[in-house]
Structure 1
């Protein structure tokens, strides 16, 4: 059943709205400065719409893994720098709550908010109860506001986070409305459309390192797409199973086991690389293109798809009406090994197809190469995108009020 959205919340003038955003942005390890603000920008339409409706906004997010950080690293995981960048992008000051996530000072700051003002809470994971889905913690957070909005698609699959599950449950218990924000609404609409009535033919591009991490996603895609192109490190798993000597490219036994049941699709729905770029393990500046009919030398490892593969992939992308992409097809962070990933992005941008990029590293790559604005949709959620396509039910979305 469709979930309630911002338009279903009713009059918001004078109300305080608690918005779960995904501000888990990359930070400079030394200064704590925000290195990429894409996720902050993604939340701006929802926040601005609430402010325009006369509400005050209390935003909350986790940031990094403070539970695993050293004291020095933890100090850089406060939301101070995020609040500053959020304010710059929003064009108005963003107040920062006290260093505690909840407590008297935070409650006072929330109660003092006036319409049009914004407060950002401290890193939710500074309180261990956030990842324990703790009811007492959730009640304290829920008590800060009059309504709840989930606009954090990237964390919708985190069913043990209080801010995603227990907090909206506490809001319901208090008779307060719950809705999804504009970002989550858009993500769900697009992914639901991909899975139910996509324009055909449908093609998917899959990359990344591990087949085992994405086996459910691959199986979900195979039931929906006409063709699946596989690149990235996972391609060498399939190639090794097909008898290709992958040289020094590391392929774990569990990856071979995960890929084996899919071998029957190779040559049918699944297309593998026909050549690759290999780099010398002891000197990555030394490279050579190796065709799949040959063998990668023993002291070389695969780092990108080769030029013939890129031409093959680009041709298939050009023939598709819908293209779904998750996972870079090479080590794109290294400029010398980025041609494949950049080429796939360029082919999608030029294809005229409905193009959807499945978050995570793929979204970073598309943005890095300047093609993000030329895609139909770039998801803000890597793991959440995978899980939703797989058909996993999210407890976080189950907490949102249904439309009548």
Structure 2
């Protein structure tokens, strides 16, 4: 399937005012307020630098965190970090569509870059509507008249239907930026031309998304095996009839995931051995130490990782795969004693000859932290967007770009 959207190559951008939506949402130290990691800014630098080099007047829209969180802050510091990464002075203004902001946009010279304020400071940005409805909200209504072209490079947020992400495509010529373009081409090509055996490794905490992916890839024949870890594995073990201990059952119930246990029972019944769950798990015992126990003898302690025997089984399946998709860590990898599952799975992926995709979020961070980033074929910049795509859902921001291209 070819996704037909415009890219930067489809427009003559010299002298044009180009609005670029990026995702430079970054970890911020809650005490000092200092940005701790500029990975996403480096990622989007390719698009911004290209637009600047081609003589566009570049206006950047972005968000940082969300209301109520400690790292919900202005983008002033982001402008300094972007300036260093681009080796271009990135201007910043502490508003989105004030008279001053609009005048600054109108007065931009060719190749200049201006970063506007955190779009989530504006309440409409948190309301989800259709692209056509979002085009009538205040951010697009105020900015679209002074913009020539809209470029969406925020793949990591492409599953969100918010004004800054989908509201410009119905009213402006629109294109995918280089990050968006690469992500969609790599992921869609891997899905459309999957080589078998194909293995999906699903872990982490976002079990509802993971089980949707599991259902989709087994139904459509993409996956030969789905290996489970993290909370996903606990739900599968519960569904398979194992006593995972009161504390782990309570965790599932407290998150309102009982419906996922029922859903998993049906999937196990239908797909059997294609769904692989651990044969042993790691718990933190009374002494605070890691202890590996078989799944039919789990005591009433929290499960924090898959066990050593499971790791061996998973690694064997991974190393024989031709295509590998991984989303979510195997356990509480931030704690060294429970990092073994995540580290060994990533090591198996890195040493496999198969085409490998790491699906963003925590597993991407773990891949980099553990030094495997150069040994996998693609690390996605967006966990949520990637997992939505893999579960067969359409990404609303991408659909908006496709509709714009049709016009």
TM-score computed with the length of structure 2 as normaliser:
0.90
Equivalent pair of 1:22/1:152 in contact (CA under 8 Å): yes
Q: 1: distance between equivalents of 2:149 and 2:252?
A: 49
Instruction: Show the counterpart of 2:43.
Output: 42
Q: What is the number of residues matched between the two proteins?
A: 387
Instruction: Show the counterpart of 2:170.
Output: 169
Q: 2: distance between equivalents of 1:115 and 1:307?
A: 58
Secondary structure at the counterpart of residue 168 of structure 2: helix
Instruction: Show the counterpart of 1:174.
Output: none
1:95-130 Cα distance to aligned partner (Å, 9 max, x none): 101x22111111122122222221111000111122
Which of 154, 157, 168 aligns to 1:155? It is 157
1:51, CA displacement in angstroms?
1.4
Instruction: Show the counterpart of 1:141.
Output: 143
Instruction: Show the counterpart of 2:259.
Output: 254
Q: 1: distance between equivalents of 2:234 and 2:399?
A: 39
TM-score computed with the length of structure 1 as normaliser:
0.91
Equivalent pair of 1:356/1:378 in contact (CA under 8 Å): yes
Q: Does 1:191 find its partner at 2:187?
A: yes
Q: 1: distance between equivalents of 2:382 and 2:319?
A: 26
Matches within 5 A, 1:211-226: 211-222=207-218, 223=220, 224-226=222-224
Q: 2: distance between equivalents of 1:170 and 1:52?
A: 26
1:350, CA displacement in angstroms?
0.9
Equivalent pair of 1:151/1:182 in contact (CA under 8 Å): yes
Instruction: Show the counterpart of 1:353.
Output: 354
Instruction: Show the counterpart of 1:7.
Output: 9
1:263-315 Cα distance to aligned partner (Å, 9 max, x none): 225642111111111113x65x32211022x41222x2211111111111111
Q: 1: distance between equivalents of 2:91 and 2:345?
A: 42
Instruction: Show the counterpart of 2:289.
Output: 286
Instruction: Show the counterpart of 2:298.
Output: 296
Mark the runs of 5 or more structure 1 residues left unpaired by the alignment. 172-176
Matches within 5 A, 1:279-358: 279-280=284-285, 285-292=288-295, 294-298=296-300, 300-358=301-359
Which of 115, 119, 129 aligns to 2:114? It is 119
Secondary structure at the counterpart of residue 169 of structure 1: coil
Q: 2: distance between equivalents of 1:166 and 1:240?
A: 43
Which of 222, 229, 236 aligns to 1:231? It is 229
Q: 2: distance between equivalents of 1:286 and 1:216?
A: 34
Which of 198, 204, 207 aligns to 1:208? It is 204
| Residues 143 and 33 (structure 1), Cα distance of their counterparts in 2 relative to 1, 3 Å cut | farther
| Residues 333 and 109 (structure 1), Cα distance of their counterparts in 2 relative to 1, 3 Å cut | same
1:192-234 Cα distance to aligned partner (Å, 9 max, x none): 1122111222111010235334332211121311111111122
Instruction: Show the counterpart of 1:103.
Output: 98
Equivalent pair of 2:279/2:294 in contact (CA under 8 Å): yes
Q: 2: distance between equivalents of 1:240 and 1:291?
A: 14
Name whichever of 301-310 and 235-244 sits farther off: 235-244
Equivalent pair of 2:63/2:119 in contact (CA under 8 Å): yes
Equivalent pair of 1:55/1:116 in contact (CA under 8 Å): yes
| Residues 128 and 251 (structure 1), Cα distance of their counterparts in 2 relative to 1, 3 Å cut | closer
1:35, CA displacement in angstroms?
1.6
Secondary structure at the counterpart of residue 392 of structure 1: coil
What is the RMSD of the two structures over their aligned residues, measured on CA atoms? 1.9
Secondary structure at the counterpart of residue 351 of structure 2: helix
Q: 2: distance between equivalents of 1:272 and 1:77?
A: 41
1:328-355 Cα distance to aligned partner (Å, 9 max, x none): 1111111211111011111111112110
1:162, CA displacement in angstroms?
0.5
| Residues 122 and 377 (structure 1), Cα distance of their counterparts in 2 relative to 1, 3 Å cut | same
| Residues 210 and 265 (structure 1), Cα distance of their counterparts in 2 relative to 1, 3 Å cut | farther
Q: Does 1:241 find its partner at 2:244?
A: no
